[in-house]
Amino acid sequence: MTQDNADLGAKLDILIKLQAGSMVRGMASKKEKILFLGQAGLTPKLIGELVGSSAASVSQTLYTERKKDKDAEGK
């Protein structure tokens, strides 16, 4: 049963990647794609695989944007 769960998880990962890729295909910038996928709840590692960046770069982009939003709310 554990192998069945692993196989199912792998198949779901593939479906998520395919769907996410099609959702961001028309977006112009990598930053726009990262922000959209981050809001959708994908991990930085998965986002990085989809947009061709490292997980660290994706994390930094998400952090910077959250900080900008937080600073704008405080003003």
User: Total structural domains in the chain?
Assistant: 1
pTM: 0.78
Q: Looking at residue 70, what is its pLDDT?
A: 83
pLDDT averaged over consecutive 10-residue blocks of the chain (75 residues)?
Answer: 84 90 91 94 93 96 92 78
Name the percent of the chain in helix, strand, coil, to the closest 5.
Answer: 80, 0, 20
Measure the CA–CA gap between 4 and 74, rounded to whole angstroms.
49
The domain in which residue 24 lies consists of: 2-74
